[in-house]
Amino acid sequence: MEPTILFEDADLIIVDKPAGMIVHPDGKHDYPALDAWLTAKYGPVFLVHRIDRETSGVLLVARNEKAQEFLKQQFKNREVRKVYRAFAYGTLPERGTIDKPIGSTRGGLGPRSAKAPYGQLRDAVTLYRRISSGNGASYVEVFPKTGRTHQIRVHLASIGHPLIADRLYATKRPPLLGFDRLALHALSVVFVHPSGKEMTIAAPLPPDFVAAEKSLTL
């Protein structure tokens, strides 16, 4: 299980993380985490954001503290533009905006929630557009405007359309379209390089996404 390097220079490494690879060691998995894999290959690295273990796609990594701080400020100021692809249960409207604060459940110890959030609430906004639908599912492009934990998963679940094969927010729904992992892919990211140049980096759709796309058009 290895990531694909999409871009590298003296300041940045941009990877296409495979589904199933954790970003940081968690003591539960015996294979290398992404940061350990990168450290072995490049030396010390600085992760500035993360995606879930089952999510595939683009991830930015800084190679020095100056680049780390430069990128962290862009994320903090919501200047980084991220695009995801996802498959969700049911048929979503053609376009939509989900503007719901996210908190925790079960006294602050459980999963995230936008339906009945508990404790500290954080504002969260997600835009989406439906690409296609069929076979009880929708293929959507998602544009998170904030970066809350599990934001896309929580927001789509809150409107009755959780992501396919989401074992946390769609526990009672059977997997569809051949997915045996969370149907979420970080497709692209637009940001400013420490040199001042705007960059757009995209990760190819993984095979399970390509197969699911085809199944909706049959």
Distance (Å, whole) CA 87 – CA 89:
7
Distances (CA, A) of 118 to 110, 149, 167, 170: 10, 14, 21, 19
Distances (CA, A) of 200 to 69, 137, 193: 19, 29, 10
Residue 79 zone, left/alpha/beta (φ > 0; ψ -120 to 50; rest): alpha
Q: Which regions of 106-168 does DSSP assign to beta strands (E)?
A: 112-113, 118-122, 125-134, 137-144
**Of the candidates 108, 87, 77, the residue with the CA atom closest to the CA atom of residue 152:** 87
Q: Which of 11, 30, 35, 52 is catalytic?
A: 52
DSSP-derived secondary structure letter, 162: P
End-to-end CA distance of the chain: 31
**Of the candidates 2, 10, 6, 69, the residue with the CA atom closest to the CA atom of residue 32:** 2
**Residue 52 annotated to the active site:** yes
Catalytic positions are 52
